Structure 1
Amino acid sequence: MTDYTAEKQIDHDVTAAFAYLADPANLPQYFPHMTSAKLVEPELVQTTAVVDTDGDGVEEKVSGRAWFHADRDAHEISWGSPGSDEYSGSLKVTEAGGSSLLKLRIHTTEDHPGVQESLDEALESIARRLAAQSAR
């Protein structure tokens, strides 16, 4: 089992940040390689991504479904593969002295090159998106 984690402090309100993150339609805006995400049933999202699934250096388009739960009281979203414990993740927003702290975690059964960089990239993307929203 492998766990990847990343954190980033952002200058944004916890509630507003969570509202953005809790909308599955926004997932492709901040998760690298994801090209679409659509809620197809309550707490079930259909996703499409372009990734190198077999490690040959060539990215392929893949689609799948994931459960997606937004806990508004805890300001945390979580997701994973339906019927499997091989892949799951969470993104929590907490108050951090007038700003927000984002904590992103991915759990998988295998080590995947580039996952840590993708987590860092996702948090940077969230920070940019939320800063752009604040500037409006």
Structure 2
Amino acid sequence: LLPHAGEFKRLSRQSLSITAGKKYAKKWNAIVVLKGPLTAITDGTRVVYIPWGGPILARGGSGDILAGMVGSLLARRKSLGLLAFNAVELAVTWHAFAADDLRKKWGEEAVRTTQLLSGLPSVLKKV
């Protein structure tokens, strides 16, 4: 699940927090990406923080791009030798790296959400 704070509150009836995210993930046997200034990924037991990405990822449509990336890696995770948690972590990290690369190149204000897609090839070449 990739909820922003408002969506998480509607789903869980709790404010977005690491504790609430872990509880929700454990209850529903899910992987939850808690998007925010410091994005966190939890499966209810472990938490991984993704410190990259910044304000560019707070724009409309950014989460839709991330959802597509997560879905793509989850669909191919067995052939890639990834556990589901690691596939989600990889997608979130690539997404954040693309945002950071674009910010360095164009500045935060000049980047459009759709540029995240065009920024991915340069990120993937680095990994």
- Settle same-fold status: TM greater than 0.5: no
Higher strand share: 1
Relative CO higher for 1 or 2, CA cutoff 8 Å, sep ≥ 6?
Answer: 1
User: Normalization by structure 2: what TM-score?
Assistant: 0.35
Structure with the largest fraction of helix: 2
